[in-house]
Structure 1
Amino acid sequence: MNDLEKYFENNDKRLIDKWMHYFEVYDRHFSKYRGKEVVILEIGISQGGSLQMWKDYFGDKAKIYGIDINPKCKDFEEKNIEIFIGSQSDRNFLQNVKEKIPKVDIFIDDGGHTMQQLIVSYQELFGHIKEDGVYLAEDLHTSYWLEYGGGHKRRGTFIEYSKNFIDQLHGFHSEQSSLNVSEFTSSVNSIHYYDSILVVEKRKRAKPFSCTTGTASFVIENSKRTKADRFMRDVKKGQNKLLRFFNLGGSDLFNS
């Protein structure tokens, strides 16, 4: 049991409502910031308990900002905790918040969990996360719930939207104009999906490269291909290019 779980189990302060498997995810991605001058932004304050939990977990050097649409949440301000009242789907409001706070180390989206709220908040605030910061969106099971506009592989859900992040992460390797190197490609180091949670860890990246060391023990068969072999490989490559144009499955050039 990590310290976040212990705090939750023994909580006698403001109410906290969490799925129990979340605490392992939090600790895995947040523990490196403990005791440091970390800046945290959380959307979705509810009863204010999570703000107190973060303050206890990260320590006195942490500066915590919260966003909620309920004006009553303003009462939860205390030392090192500042609250902004507004809608997370209001781009003007979020832009105004960015002007008032420094770039953040950790951005947690635990807000309304509708598709529009999640997507707008990501689009407006992801760029306000520091170069080595962490983005975490939770309760993403709403992407499968009808009342939130969800559904399996339904267009417009945040899960479907975030699947594009996987492509963007691999932008350096794309051979097609439909996938280019983007700001996401060059600023994100890893993507982690858990049940109901997405974590994106940022880190500046240059184009990856491979190296070879050591001495070869045998000749690799592919290096001894005949002209006929190379011709057939070029033919299959052309076929694959055509199939790819129509987004159809292709064949393995190296093992066929």
Structure 2
Amino acid sequence: MQHARAGPAENPLVSWYRDHTGRSVHKVYGYLEIYHRHFARYRGRSPVLLEIGVNFGGSLQMWRDYFGPGCRLYGVDIEPGCKAFADEATTILIGDQADRDFLARLRKDLPRPDILIDDGGHRMEQQIATFEELYPHIADDGVYLCEDLHTSYWDRFGGGYRKDGSFVEFSKRLIDQLNAWHWEGEQESAVNEFTRTSHGMHYYPSVLVIEKRRMQPPKQIKAGRSML
């Protein structure tokens, strides 16, 4: 197999993949650039990361190596055997991400994550429930990432092209909500907590990233002289 190579400013996740011989981890190669673009500011710090979908535990190793020893990792999976990947710096919680009572317990028991990665079961009801229940719990300047959005187009995951109820269609409505300050005639009722706490939405093939920030109503600014 030919290994990916990068230039002098190599994404550390690329080199990690090239050298990794530990627990199995399976990602789309293009995701590595997305991760580094949105997560690099947390490297060498002490972020709280919540990853839904532990699988064979390899991604937990990847995040530990990427962020450094100060990172506090929380992994969620429906498979009880994933408890084996817990250690002094990694907490594993077992539950179904479509179970809103379970998600409510996560909100109660866990610190607010700086980063939430949804790489769980990829079914529509799971992704939507996870977003609705946990997005408000993410730190005010944190990052939400949902990957493998292509399942929104697959019938066996509850999706379908432009199918109402798919996660992609659900997320499209969030674009409107992001811009709710500008809804004519709806201003007072349209702006909600998502509008007030979301700075930007970034779509990539199969990935959605939302960066949080406390927002204020848009403020117009001008400079220079108006000349006809």
TM-score, normalised relative to structure 1: 0.83
Structure 2 counterpart of 1:49, from 33, 44, 58: 58
Q: SS of 1:159's equivalent?
A: helix
- Residue 68 of structure 2 corresponds to which residue in structure 1? 59
Residue equivalent to 2:213: 203
Larger RCO: 1 or 2 (CA < 8 Å, sep 6+): 2
1:81 to 90, 95, 107: 90
Alpha-carbon offset, residue 100 of structure 1: 1.5
Q: Per-residue deviation at 1:9?
A: 1.8
Matches within 5 A, 1:106-145: 106-145=115-154
Match of 1:224 in 2: none
The separation in 2 between residues aligned to 1:50 and 1:79, in whole angstroms, is: 17
* Distance in structure 1 (CA, Å) of the matches to 2:51 and 2:147: 11
Instruction: Provide the C-alpha distance between the structure 2 equivalents of 1:160 and 1:22, rounded to a whole number of angstroms.
Output: 21
- DSSP 3-state at the match of 1:126: helix
Kindly state the Cα deviation for residue 176 of structure 1 after the two structures are TM-superposed: 3.4
Structure-2 separation of matches of 1:118 and 1:127: 14
Q: Which residue type is aligned with residue 26 of structure 1?
A: Y
- Structure 1 stretch 168-177 or stretch 69-78: which is displaced more? 168-177
Give the 3-state SS of the residue equivalent to 2:35 in structure 1: helix
Shift, 1:96, TM fit? 1.1
Q: C-alpha distance in 1, partners of 2:108/2:132?
A: 16
2:197 partner letter: S
> Displacement of 1:192 after TM fit?
0.1
Q: Secondary structure at the match of 1:21?
A: helix
Q: How does 1:88-237 map to 2 (within 5 A)?
A: 88-177=97-186, 180-218=190-228
Moved more, 133-142 or 2-11: 2-11
Among the aligned pairs, what percent are the same residue?
47
State the one-letter code of the partner of 2:19. Answer: N
Task: Provide the rounded CA distance (Å) in 2 between the counterparts of 1:105 and 1:35.
Answer: 14
Moved over 2 A (4+): 176-179
Q: What is the CA deviation profile of residues 152-201 of structure 1, one whole-angstrom value per residue up to 9, with x for unaligned ones? A: 11110000000011101111111133971110111000000000000000
Find out whether 1:9 has 2:21 as its counterpart: no
Distance 2:133 2:224 in 1: 48
What is the RMSD of the two structures over their aligned residues, measured on CA atoms?
1.1
Supply the AA of the counterpart residue of 2:222.
T
- Identify unmatched segments of 5+ residues in structure 1: 219-256
For residue 79 of structure 1, report the CA deviation from its aligned partner.
Answer: 2.5
Which residue in the other structure is 1:20 paired with? 29
Q: What is the SS of the residue equivalent to 1:104?
A: coil
User: What is the CA deviation profile of residues 14-38 of structure 1, one whole-angstrom value per residue up to 9, with x for unaligned ones?
Assistant: 0000000000000000000001110
Equivalent of residue 40 in structure 1, options 46, 49, 68: 49
Larger radius of gyration: 1
SS in 2 for 1:36: coil
Residue 25 of structure 2 aligns to a residue whose secondary structure is: coil
Distance 1:153 1:32 in 2: 35
Counterpart code for 2:71 = A
Q: Structure 2: any 5+ residue segments left out of the alignment?
A: 1-9
Q: Secondary structure at the match of 2:190?
A: coil
Provide the rounded CA distance (Å) in 2 between the counterparts of 1:169 and 1:100: 29
TM-score (normalizing by structure 2) = 0.93
Aligned letter for 1:217?
A: M
